[in-house]
């Protein structure tokens, strides 16, 4: 069952727009690494940048803005000299902890495990 945005009752079917949006959001490049680091109490931009090898400052900034717009992250500015900026997960963001733990467990169990080639019965055989 899937509750569709703007509709009062759940809708049956393979496609669920709410699920699709959630997967696209947390599956966006680098988003998982950022949220995972923040679940480990990494809060400052420079700390996030250091904690995630290969992540550019531009991409980190872009992803943090997206997460803020979705209500997953809140940006807190402390007017000191120099200005101190920290990012915190909201309740909505912390709600992802169980999801990320499940993905982490799945990854430990299955990613990198020898995989047999998948046969696609729809493809034509050798000519």
* Per-residue pLDDT band at 113 (split at 50, 70, 90): confident
What share of residues in the chain are helix, strand, coil (percent, to 5)? 45, 15, 40
What Å distances lie between residue 81 and 15, 77, 78, 84, 85, CA to CA? 50, 11, 9, 8, 11
Residue 22: predicted pLDDT: 93
Mean pLDDT of 87-104: 97
Query: Is the distance from CB of 22 to CB of 71 less than 8 angstroms?
Result: no
Residue 21 belongs to domain with CATH number:
1.10.10.10
Please list the residues that pair with 86 across neighbouring strands. Answer: 44, 76
Q: Give the pLDDT of residue 93.
A: 98
- In this prediction the pTM is 0.79
Q: Domain total for the chain?
A: 1
Does some domain include residue 110? no
- Residue 125 covered by a domain: no
pLDDT digits (tens, 9 = 90+) for 38-90: 999 999 999 999 999 999 999 999 999 999 999 999 999 999 999 999 999 99
Instruction: Tell which wins on pLDDT, 20 or 7.
Output: 20
Helix (H, G, I), strand (E, B) or coil at 48: helix
User: 86 in helix, strand or coil?
Assistant: strand
């Amino acid at each position: 069952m899937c509750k569709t945005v703007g509709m009062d009752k759940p809708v049956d079917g393979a496609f669920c727009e709410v699920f699709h949006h959630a997967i696209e959001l947390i599956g966006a490049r680098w988003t998982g690494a950022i949220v995972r680091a923040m679940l480990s109490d990494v809060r400052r931009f420079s700390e996030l940048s250091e904690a995630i090898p290969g992540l550019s400052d531009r991409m980190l900034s872009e992803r943090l803005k997206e997460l803020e717009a979705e209500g997953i992250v809140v940006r807190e500015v402390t007017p000191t000299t120099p200005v101190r900026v920290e990012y915190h997960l909201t309740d909505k963001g912390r709600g992802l902890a169980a999801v990320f733990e499940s993905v982490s467990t799945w990854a430990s169990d299955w990613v990198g495990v020898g995989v047999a080639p998948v046969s696609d019965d729809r493809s034509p055989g050798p000519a």
